[in-house]
Amino acid sequence: NAGVMQNPRHLVRRRGQEARLRCSPMKGHSHVYWYRQLPEEGLKFMVYLQKENIIDESGMPKERFSAEFPKEGPSILRIQQVVRGDSAAYFCASSPPGSGANVLTFGAGSRLTVL
Amino acid sequence: AQTVTQSQPEMSVQEAETVTLSCTYDTSESDYYLFWYKQPPSRQMILVIRQEAYKQQNATENRFSVNFQKAAKSFSLKISDSQLGDAAMYFCAYRSSMKTSYDKVIFGPGTSLSVIP
């Protein structure tokens, strides 16, 4: 069981470019959560998805950020027109059906640096 | 809204000794879950221990135990016989049991633990 796989581990973008972060949940997990960790801070909830559905996006910035979890393939967190303030570590977590956020398995994170 | 506070940004402990990390939280709910997560230098978030608020008995996992004081809204983590591999950031976290927000885990700012050989 490979666990939650995130890629890329490190991504460098210039201001105005797009960033795409991918997350493959653990085998058997159908719920995906994205969290952002700014330097020297704890993780902040962004969005919760199930296959083909966004369940809760209350933590997502209203503009430039979007997330999807298609029927096939990984979940994608997309940041358009990145700015320096988007520099952070983005963590994906997954959980099995019925457990909610009680049984979260985290990936190793994707560190985004915006120049 | 719920908040989680960790008042110790940094702590250190001698190898083999015991250390306690503090956490307080604010909520108006009576049923919820509390967690301690560990984030080593690899940055992987690892669940250390979980406590259900309706359980009076404090959770334990090997060398890790909690002191859950519901009335005081306090949830401290005790690490016994500290090992070098315990050096990490430790995050206290809260999860509501309400269906409208049960998907969110709210994290504290973290405590950086150093273990001195």
Looking at residue A29, its pLDDT comes to 87
Q: Does A23 touch chain B (CB under 8 A)?
A: no
DSSP symbol at A26? P
Q: Under 8 Å CB-to-CB from B92, ≥6 apart: which residues? A: B4, B6, B21, B23, B25, B34, B35, B36, B75, B77, B107, B108
Q: What is the pLDDT of residues B10-25, one digit of tens each?
A: 999 999 999 999 999 9
Chain A nearest-CA distance from B111, in A, is 10
Round the average pLDDT of chain B to a whole number and report it. 92
Q: Estimate to the nearest angstrom the gap between the alpha carbon of B75 and the chain centroid.
A: 7
Cβ pair A4, A25 in contact under 8 A: yes
Q: What is the pLDDT of residues B47-96, one digit of tens each?
A: 999 999 988 899 999 999 999 999 999 999 999 999 999 999 999 999 88
Of the candidates B33, B45, B95, the beta carbon closest to that of A106 is on: B45
Question: Based on the number of CB atoms within 10 Å of its own CB, is B111 exposed (0-12), middle (13-18) or buried (19 or more)?
Answer: buried
Chain B nearest-CA distance from A102, in A, is 8
- Residue at A58: amino acid letter: S
Q: What is the pLDDT of residues A3-35, one digit of tens each?
A: 899 999 999 999 999 999 999 999 888 889 999
Contacting residues of B for A102, CB less than 8 Å apart:
33, 50, 95
Of the candidates B42, B45, B93, the beta carbon closest to that of A91 is on: B45
Task: Round to whole Å and give the CA distance between B43 and B58.
Answer: 27
Least confident of A56-70, A76-90, A94-108: A94-108
